[in-house]
Amino acid sequence: MTTKKSSGKKKDIQKKPSDDSLKSQINELKKQIKENEDKFLRSLAELKNYQKRMEKEVSFCIEDTSKKYISELIDIHELLKQALKDNNPKKGLKLIIDNIENFFKKEQIQYIDCIGKKFDHNIHHAITTIEKDDCEDNTIIEEVKKGYMINDKVLRPSQVIVSKKK
């Protein structure tokens, strides 16, 4: 009979977790899921409240801006009515134009200066071209309709006639 010698090393036997430890792990995971769900719902509610506040603020800004511009239009309307009654309507018209230009200045609305300048498609709209020998190509020779800018943004491009070499 042969005998086997043991090397003296014990094999590591993995123990299966007990039912109680599995239940406690499951309960802990359920608790974490519930906490995360609560955090998510709170964040979602905060986002919805933020959206509502922003919608109200935008609405208020639009209404406030509308009131501001309508008030200016009312002033101009009143001046036009006075000018109509006036014996010298040129005075009234001059007053109205001054009022509008003050409004433009206050709102930082500027005319686009273009006569004699090079054509720029970003701020000019060419209506037609005219062949001329005494001008460089693509030089604005006439302004048909004034253009306007507000804070470096084009409100309305200048409508212009552009030169073209023969």
Run of H or E residues at 144: strand 140-145
Q: Are residues 98 and 136 in the same domain?
A: no
Q: Are residues 81 and 116 in the same domain?
A: no
**Has residue 101 been placed in a domain?**
yes
Q: Are residues 36 and 103 in the same domain?
A: yes
The pLDDT, as a whole number, for residue 83 is 83
The pLDDT, as a whole number, for residue 54 is 97
Query: pTM for the full model?
Result: 0.60
Instruction: Record the tokens describing residue 76, joined without a space.
Output: 């101009």
Torsion of CA 69, 71, 77, 83, to 10 degrees: -110
- pLDDT tens sequence across 114-166: 999 999 999 999 999 998 888 888 899 999 999 999 988 999 999 999 998 87
Helices within 11-154 (DSSP H only): 19-85, 89-106
User: What's the total number of domains in the chain?
Assistant: 2
Q: Are residues 72 and 130 in the same domain?
A: no
Q: Are residues 38 and 72 in the same domain?
A: yes
Residue type, 162: V
Q: Region 45-49: what's the mean pLDDT?
A: 97
The pLDDT, as a whole number, for residue 11 is 53
Q: Are residues 86 and 98 in the same domain?
A: yes
SS3 (DSSP) at 103: helix
- HSE-CB at 29 with a 13 A cutoff on CA atoms is 6
The pLDDT, as a whole number, for residue 15 is 65
The pLDDT, as a whole number, for residue 159 is 96
Q: Region 14-34: what's the mean pLDDT?
A: 87
- Pairing state of beta strands 109-111 and 148-150? antiparallel
**Has residue 164 been placed in a domain?**
yes
CA–CA separation, 72 vs 80, rounded Å?
Answer: 12
Q: Are residues 96 and 54 in the same domain?
A: yes
- pLDDT tens sequence across 78-113: 888 888 888 887 888 888 899 899 999 998 999 999
Domain limits for position 73:
23-107
Residue 51 CA to chain centroid, in angstroms?
Answer: 17
